[in-house]
Amino acid sequence: MNDLVIVNAKLTTLDRANPVAQAVAIRDGKFLKVGSEAEVRAAVGPDAAIIDAGGRRVIPGLIDSHIHVIRGGLNYNMELRWDGVPTLADAMDMLRRQVARTPSPQWVRVVGGFTEHQFAEKRLPTLDEINAVAPDTPVFILHLYDRALLNAAALRAVGYGKDTPDPPGGVIVRDAKGNPTGLLLANPNAAILYATLAKGPKLPPDYQKNSTRHFMRELNGLGVTSVIDAGGGFQNYPDDYAIIEELHREGQLTLRIAYNLFTQKPKEELKDFANWSTQVKPGDGDDTYRHNGAGEMLVYSAADFEDFRVARPEMPPNMEADLEPVIRLLAERRWPWRLHVTYDETITRALDVFEKVNRDIPLNGLNWFFDHCETISQRSIDRIAALGGGIAVQHRMAYQGEEFVNRYGARAAERTPPVAAMLRSGVPVGAGTDATRVASYNPWVSLAWLVTGRTVGGTALYPVANRLDREGALRLWTEANSWFSNEVGKKGQIKAGQLADLAVLSGDYFGVAEGEIAQLRSVLTLLGGRVVHGEGDFAPLAPALPPVMPDWSPVATFGGYHQAPTTKAKLADACGCASGCAVHGHDHAAALGADVPVADARSFWGVFGCGCWAI
């Protein structure tokens, strides 16, 4: 492969010895030279490929340290995404249109990534509104960890009736006659929500493979090049990893994936980890797909879900007895772990176990960490630092901050989580999304939250003391996250010798207004020096994706994260082929004559791979 050079760029390298540059050279999947254009051109041969960045901001590829990408990929093509949709009216119009496209017995699923607070109306749809637009097609809408809305057709499909008992930790809301209304509540855990969703039809394997490719490309379009997969409910190892492993074998991964193993069976957690640790060890794999350890579920008795509409759940008295043998096993076998924790009360009890094990088996060097930690205390942060652990934070409060304030007050919300205090204490801190069933997978929403301290609904949560500057926030999404997969020095910076992962941005992250950070995208994304996403002028550089499967998929019509509509004039201007496109022919010309949103334009043109839809 020839050398590649990117010139005319505003490079933010995050290399403190060489913080800014104008050009970068790439060879054999790694950065070769970073500096001025003259320095970079001198480092490569005369046949090097040249990409002109057009003066755009270039950053290291983003790393999400907590996402459920494997499970999300298997389901992406089935899901209608309300991520970023500004009004309930828009969301319901999308639902109505998708219902009309969805054949029986398929469902229409809206599975997380949004909150009622993002809507101008500041509310969720009513069950009557959902039934009115979908009298016969099953509809399942998951809102965060707190509830699911099912229409009458979905209730029939899952078989919930008057005699269906409430499961442990969940509530089936009923009318005066005892019949389910369609509202399911987590009280306090989300098992009822996930178990109900799992009753829906699944995609066949070839469609799941297509779905995973489209989800990876969606993340590439946001500048994401690496993720740590946190496992997840109903994500069984090894069965549910077959698709991602097939894509890896075929060289089709456009993300670097480090995966953690998540136990699925209460009371059998130790057995799971004992068995898995004889089959795979941390680090097995390569730079594209590798094992990363245990969690985020280690034992079910330590899982404190963060539904702030209800009171904090008290962990059972057997939590420590369940957790200790698992931690001992992992420490003995040198498996890093991650543990889902929301409240300091749970963190304190888990740390008691970790410190006990540490007295016998030192934990230093294991790169273990807690996830979430919304109400962690300074004392707990100090204890984590003393044990050599880390903390991965996610922007769940950007979606649930209003509920937290309503229950605990604005003052208590100011340190949820106390990211600045964590950094001052020297604890490794990284950022992620916890997508796709709670917060959105869009990293720019997380970066906006870290910088502004505001929810997606506009509520100001954090004082200046608990907000980060733009470079500090970006470091949590790049360089800092390499610690959580034991890849420090390998990626996260634009630096000679590191993996050549980068994103060329649609706007200048360091120059746009705070309110515009969440709207940023990547117009060109490279993974190991290979183009994995391009739009606009860079679209012809990107490899084509196969058409979305099935053809009724919401992704084919609406895409993923919501983008503002554009006009036909802008579409015509942006299309390099115009109405004479030899690839698209008559359909392409007709599309240019219609007012269509960006995602719909993708359904017209994106499947052909020539980039006409990109703007």
Q: Model confidence over 18-28: pLDDT tens digits?
A: 999 999 999 99
At residue 608, does pLDDT exceed 90?
A: no
**CA-to-CA dists, residue 145 to 21, 373, 396, 437, 458, angstroms:** 43, 16, 10, 8, 21
Looking at per-residue pLDDT, the higher value among 190 and 294 belongs to 294
CA distance 165 to 302: 25
Q: Categorize the per-residue pLDDT at 613 as very low, low, confident or very high, splitting at 50, 70 and 90.
A: very low
Query: What pLDDT is stored for residue 189 in this prediction?
Result: 81
CA distance 180 to 174: 4
CA distance 38 to 432: 37
The H or E element spanning position 321 is helix 319-332
**Tokens 């993002």 sit on residue:** 118
Instruction: State mean pLDDT over 296-321.
Output: 94
CA distance 289 to 611: 28
Instruction: State mean pLDDT over 293-304.
Output: 96
At residue 596, does pLDDT exceed 60?
A: no
Q: What percent of the chain has pLDDT over 70?
A: 92
> Is this structure's pTM higher than 0.85?
yes
**Is the Cβ–Cβ distance between 137 and 105 less than 8 Å?**
no
In the chain, where are the structural domains located? 4-60+501-541, 67-197, 213-485, 564-608
Instruction: State mean pLDDT over 347-368.
Output: 98
| Least confident window among 214-223, 298-307, 364-373, 520-529 | 298-307
CA distance 70 to 244: 7
The fold of 213-485 is TIM Barrel (3.20.20)
At residue 155, does pLDDT exceed 50?
A: yes
Return all residues near 38 (Cβ < 8 A) that are at least 6 apart: none
Burial of 165: CB neighbours in 10 Å, binned 0-12, 13-18, 19+:
exposed
At residue 44, does pLDDT exceed 60?
A: yes
Instruction: State mean pLDDT over 294-309.
Output: 93
At residue 587, does pLDDT exceed 70?
A: no
Instruction: State mean pLDDT over 484-488.
Output: 98
CA distance 365 to 38: 41
Q: Categorize the per-residue pLDDT at 600 as very low, low, confident or very high, splitting at 50, 70 and 90.
A: very low
- For 528, phi then psi, to 5°, come to 60, 35
**Is the Cβ–Cβ distance between 494 and 14 less than 8 Å?**
yes
**Average per-residue pLDDT in the chain?**
92
CA distance 107 to 473: 38
Query: What pLDDT is stored for residue 1 in this prediction?
Result: 64
- 23-27: strand order across its sheet: 30-35, 23-27, 4-7, 49-52
Q: Categorize the per-residue pLDDT at 2 as very low, low, confident or very high, splitting at 50, 70 and 90.
A: confident
Instruction: State mean pLDDT over 533-540.
Output: 97
The H or E element spanning position 227 is strand 224-229
At residue 92, does pLDDT exceed 90?
A: yes
Q: At what angle do helices 344-360 and 378-387 cross, to 10 degrees?
A: 20
Query: What pLDDT is stored for residue 306 in this prediction?
Result: 84
Number of residues that this document lists for the chain? 615
Looking at per-residue pLDDT, the higher value among 495 and 588 belongs to 495
Which CATH architecture does the domain made up of 4-60+501-541 adopt?
Answer: Roll (2.30)
At residue 164, does pLDDT exceed 60?
A: yes
**Is the Cβ–Cβ distance between 112 and 148 less than 8 Å?**
no
Query: What pLDDT is stored for residue 599 in this prediction?
Result: 39
**Is the Cβ–Cβ distance between 553 and 536 less than 8 Å?**
no
Could you read off the pLDDT of 389-438 as tens digits, one per residue? 999 999 999 999 999 999 999 999 999 999 999 999 999 999 999 999 99
- The distance of Cα 423 from the centroid of its chain, to the nearest Å, equals 23
Q: Categorize the per-residue pLDDT at 565 as very low, low, confident or very high, splitting at 50, 70 and 90.
A: low
C-alpha closest to that of 53 among 488, 513, 525, 602: 525
Instruction: State mean pLDDT over 555-579.
Output: 64
Burial of 284: CB neighbours in 10 Å, binned 0-12, 13-18, 19+:
exposed
**Is the Cβ–Cβ distance between 5 and 43 less than 8 Å?**
no
At residue 146, does pLDDT exceed 70?
A: yes
CA distance 208 to 107: 16
Q: Does domain 67-197 fall into CATH 3.40.50.150?
A: no
